Amino acid sequence: MERREFVANVSHELRTPLTTMKSYLEALQDGAVEDAALASKFLGVTQRETERMIRLVNDLLQLSRLDSKDYKIHLERTDYLAFCQSIMDRFEMSKKQNIEFVRQFPKGSFYVLMDRDKLTQVIDNIISNAIKYSPEGGIITFAIRRRGNKIRTMISDQGVGIPKENLPKIFNRFYRVDRARSRKLGGTGLGLAIAKEMVEAQGGEIWAESDWNRGTTIHFILPLDRRDS
């Protein structure tokens, strides 16, 4: 993405929550503060908008670190199945919506040389999208398959899906298929861009597959640690 376009996008993404906050604060100033219920509602809005800006700024910092030359990844030999189990356990514990998580893990154990924090963030970003776009009662499947000296991870949901023509773009910075829908759901379009850069920095590949209205699958592959086998 061009620098000019990037700056325009960032400015836009920051201005939106700021103007929202400004109008709610003005309404409070103009008297809404006297009405306890209204005041609490308006303060809630400004609080959520502040949190949105913090998330955005954190994502931007993350991307600027990825862009910088001294970007370092800390590769550690990791039991991949155990690593993924613990991530899924965490999602299972903290889930708020009516969503079912299904794990399809192979038998045995294998090791991947990876940066655990970064890969945790990759999977978090993918699963939070899956949750965000899942229907009530939807199933999110987390599948792992070994192929030769590579390991493939597939995270599928039964949500709205992504039209074919938009698929390649979802890994671009700030890209959202439907801005209005994503805004309501709180996205900025940076999650998958970060995921892609992180997977590629670890020698992997990431892509998406989707049927409009049927659901989405995000695939990524990572090389297995050769010392294994």
Ligand X SMILES: Nc1ncnc2c1ncn2[C@@H]1O[C@H](COP(=O)(O)OP(=O)(O)OP(=O)(O)O)[C@@H](O)[C@H]1O
Q: How far is the CB of 180 from Mg ion (least distance, A)?
A: 16
Closer to ligand X at the Cβ: 178 or 228? 178
CB 109 within 8 A of CB 79: yes
Closest of 103, 114, 125 to residue 223, by C-alpha = 114
170 binds, among ligand X, Mg ion, none (CB under 5 to 8 A by kind): ligand X
- Is 159 a binding residue for Mg ion by CB under 5 A? The answer is no
Q: How far is the CB of 229 from ligand X (least distance, A)?
A: 33
Report the distance separating Cα 199 and Cα 205, nearest Å. 6
Closer to Mg ion at the Cβ: 111 or 175? 175
Closer to ligand X at the Cβ: 78 or 156? 156
∠ CA(15), CA(7), CA(183), 5° rounding? 45
**Which x/- pattern, by CB under 5 A, does the window 55-94 give for Mg ion?**
----------------------------------------
Report the distance separating Cα 66 and Cα 60, nearest Å. 10
Q: How far is the CB of 7 from Mg ion (least distance, A)?
A: 22
For residue 117, report the phi and psi dihedrals to the nearest 5 degrees. Answer: -60, -45
> Which two structure tokens, joined as six digits, stand for 25?
């604060």
- Is 156 a binding residue for Mg ion by CB under 5 A? The answer is no
Q: How far is the CB of 20 from Mg ion (least distance, A)?
A: 20
Q: How far is the CB of 115 from ligand X (least distance, A)?
A: 20
198-221: b (≥16 Cβ within 10 Å) or e: bbeebebebebebeeeebbbbbbb
Q: What does the binding site for ligand X look like in residue numbers (CB under 6 A)?
A: 59, 125, 129-130, 133, 157, 159-162, 170, 175-178, 182, 187-193, 216
Q: How far is the CB of 214 from Mg ion (least distance, A)?
A: 19
Closer to Mg ion at the Cβ: 78 or 158? 158
Residues 6+ apart with CB under 8 A from 111: 77, 78, 79, 80, 224, 225, 227, 228
Report the distance separating Cα 140 and Cα 146, nearest Å. 20
Residue nearest to Mg ion (CB): 191
- Is 158 a binding residue for Mg ion by CB under 5 A? The answer is no
Closer to ligand X at the Cβ: 21 or 193? 193
- Is 191 a binding residue for Mg ion by CB under 5 A? The answer is yes
- Most distant pair of Cα atoms in the chain: their distance: 70
